[in-house]
Amino acid sequence: YKDSEFLSIDLCAHVYERTRPGQVRGVPRGVAAMTRIRTLDDYQDARLEAAKAAACLVGAVVDIDGSAIGDAGEPDILPEKLEPGMFPRLAAGEDIRFNTPPSVSGHAAYVTVEQQSISIAYGVPYELLTNNMAEANYSSARISQQEFSRNLETTRKTMIEPLLNERIG
């Protein structure tokens, strides 16, 4: 690990796609997907936490007539700490109610659509970005890979090499 240090701008090469003559600055490829990437990550984290919490609380023992009261004068809602396979006693009584965990339907479809949007913004085929070949056959994967290779070659020749060579020269 090395501490960061200040570098002068004349030591940097700003590589960007030139979309008009005389352009001196550019927008990074994939900038349209940056918010989507963060949102997808937050969504995945939230789904994981919801699944963990649902796995902890199996059910509860509740008072049938609702007459049992906790220490603060109100019915106990949840214990202080959730643990896997828990069966807390919310109030004195004999009735047992089981927890219904949240549904996970639609999760895969949502993630796939978001990943496809991200791949479009970066100009990378979905199958190459995610390594998910479930919906691709050999021909479609091959065509997609060849097109991507041609696009990379064009990007290298029209953007990377000229800007780096201009800076180095």
User: pLDDT (tens digit, 0 to 9) for every residue of the chain, 169 residues total?
Assistant: 678 888 888 888 878 888 888 888 888 788 889 999 999 999 999 998 888 877 776 666 666 765 544 445 555 555 667 676 666 665 555 566 666 777 778 889 999 999 999 999 999 999 999 999 988 899 999 999 999 999 999 989 988 888 888 788 7
pLDDT of residue 91: 55
pLDDT of residue 162: 84
* Strand locations in 37-166 (E): 59-62, 95-98
pLDDT of residue 70: 47
d(CA 82, CA 45): 18
Of the candidates 121, 97, 103, the one whose C-alpha atom is nearest the C-alpha of residue 37 is 121
Using a 10 angstrom Cβ sphere, with 0-12 exposed, 13-18 middle and 19 or more buried, the burial of residue 42 is: exposed
pLDDT of residue 86: 65
d(CA 9, CA 28): 18
pLDDT of residue 61: 62
pTM above 0.85, yes or no: no
Amino acid at 19: T
CB 119 within 8 A of CB 36: no
pLDDT of residue 38: 96
pLDDT of residue 124: 93
Of the candidates 145, 25, 28, 50, the one whose C-alpha atom is nearest the C-alpha of residue 107 is 50
